[in-house]
Amino acid sequence: MADSKFVFLENNTEELEVARPSLTYWQDAWRRLKKHKLAMIGVVVIILVLLFGLVGPMLTPYSYSDQSNDYRNLPPIIEVFEVEEGINLHLSKDYNMFVVANNGELTEKLSLNRAKRDVINKIYYYDLKNGEEIKLDFSYNLLKDKQGYDYDFTIEYKGIEYKYPTGNKFNRSFPFGTDDLGRDILTRVMYGARISLLIAFVATLVNLFIGVIYGSISGYEGGRLDEVMMRIVDIINSVPLTLYVILLMVWFRKSDGLTNIIIALSTVYWVSIARLVRGQMLSIKEQEFVLAAQIIGVPKRKIIARHLIPNAMGPIIVSMAMMIPGAIFTEAFLSFIGLGVSAPQASWGTLANNALPGLVTYPYQLFFPAMAIAITILAFNFLGDGLRDALDPRLRKG
């Protein structure tokens, strides 16, 4: 008999070493998401924005509606004239004069001596608490005999004139500055984060609920019902979504703006996710496990809820992450054109709208709400890209 080509190995009782523990679908998705640097940056930024809106207002001494005309239109970086050790003066564009501490905190608003002011020659006098007097001459470049100077006003203290600021200080009292009514912009941006994110999340969840149910039924049932349901979606899609939301907002004009905008967004934006879910259902319902469930008599609603929707959660989550920045932008746009929340509440779009009249003179009033919108939308887009790469099986490479 020829030698056997098989070699018997001795019994080995040692356990085989597992190179890598097996991971579930979601554990593997999380592992891949953590490797996506931009997605992780987006997650961190989103968490910071949420803390900014939820916790931030508790740490400020102001409310979103507090007004102080004495402190209106103050910038976040203020020019100061150091007239004496420990005495820094700041003149606002509204010709209000303040004493600024060395750390940048506004400690006192100087009172205008109306009895001595010379309106014709553009000369004002302000009184300090120590009894000294500040003379402000802002007739330069206004009166013919003073035209041609490279400065607009002079400040005189104890006989010494100051023509140019001696430095800049960060506004510790109002880090983002104030608006035309003296309201703290930082506090209003914080409250605006609450409103904008609340509208975006609630509208997205409602759209997700409606779209998943609608698309699941349409895709699973198929046939004539699918045709009718998809034609309804086509009719809704025939009108631009933004125009449709604007029409709904105008129709709901008389009631609460916050509720109106949530209802308007919730009635429109579900159509895209319904199409996505329908496509997933058409693909998954042909799988063997669905056929097996049908054969043993599992009710349709349980097949959809326990088998079809869980297997389509990857694309659904990605779509949801992409819908949130769209909802934020739409809400900001509607508030910007005056169809959003009503005063004194303020979303980021409302703050941007309020800043328009003074855009040239006070650009910081538009910069901060616009930057908040841009950063938040960018963070959600980063997260959406990372979720797409982590949850899409076709993109899996390791």
Determine the Cα–Cα distance for residues 26 and 332; give it in Å rounded to an integer: 34
- Domain-located, residue 58: no
- In the prediction, which pLDDT does 107 show? 87
- Domain-located, residue 7: no
> What are the phi and psi torsion angles at 283 (to 5°)?
-80, -45
The reply to whether 214 and 128 lie within a common domain is no
The reply to whether 340 and 208 lie within a common domain is yes
Overall number of domains in the chain: 2
Determine the Cα–Cα distance for residues 355 and 377; give it in Å rounded to an integer: 21
- In the prediction, which pLDDT does 364 show? 92
The reply to whether 306 and 338 lie within a common domain is yes
- In the prediction, which pLDDT does 171 show? 92
The reply to whether 203 and 315 lie within a common domain is yes
- Domain-located, residue 49: no
**pLDDT of the chain along its 398 residues, tens only?**
455 566 665 655 455 555 566 777 777 788 888 888 999 999 999 999 999 999 988 888 888 888 888 898 999 999 999 888 878 899 988 888 999 988 889 988 888 888 888 877 788 899 888 778 888 888 876 767 677 777 788 888 888 888 888 889 999 999 999 998 889 999 999 999 998 888 888 888 888 899 999 999 988 888 888 899 999 988 888 877 777 777 877 777 655 667 778 887 888 788 888 988 998 888 888 888 888 888 888 888 888 888 888 888 888 888 888 888 888 888 888 888 877 777 777 889 889 988 888 888 899 999 999 999 999 999 999 998 888 888 865 555 54
Determine the Cα–Cα distance for residues 348 and 365; give it in Å rounded to an integer: 11
The reply to whether 237 and 138 lie within a common domain is no
The reply to whether 236 and 368 lie within a common domain is yes
- Domain-located, residue 203: yes
Contact criterion met (CB below 8 Å) for 55 and 193: no
The reply to whether 139 and 214 lie within a common domain is no
Q: Which two tokens stand for residue 151?
A: 């400065």
Q: What is the dihedral of CA 283, 289, 290, 296, to 10 degrees?
A: 170
Contact criterion met (CB below 8 Å) for 278 and 225: no
78 membership: H or E segment, kind and range: strand 77-84
- Domain-located, residue 106: yes
The reply to whether 165 and 201 lie within a common domain is no
Determine the Cα–Cα distance for residues 77 and 172; give it in Å rounded to an integer: 9
Among 137, 170, 203, identify where a domain stops.
170
The reply to whether 375 and 325 lie within a common domain is yes
Give the residue from 178, 131, 134 showing the smallest Cα distance to 160.
134
What is the 8-class DSSP label of residue 118? B
Among 170, 198, 230, identify where a domain stops.
170
Q: Which two tokens stand for residue 327?
A: 């909802």
The reply to whether 318 and 263 lie within a common domain is yes
- Domain-located, residue 26: no
- Domain-located, residue 56: no
Determine the Cα–Cα distance for residues 235 and 256; give it in Å rounded to an integer: 28
The reply to whether 211 and 343 lie within a common domain is yes
- In the prediction, which pLDDT does 398 show? 47
- Domain-located, residue 36: no
Q: Which two tokens stand for residue 328?
A: 């934020």
CATH code (residue 258):
1.10.3720.10
- In the prediction, which pLDDT does 50 show? 93
Residue showing tokens 């907002």 = 249
The reply to whether 362 and 253 lie within a common domain is yes
Q: Which domain holds residue 369?
A: 185-395
Among 126, 146, 170, identify where a domain stops.
170
Determine the Cα–Cα distance for residues 332 and 339; give it in Å rounded to an integer: 10
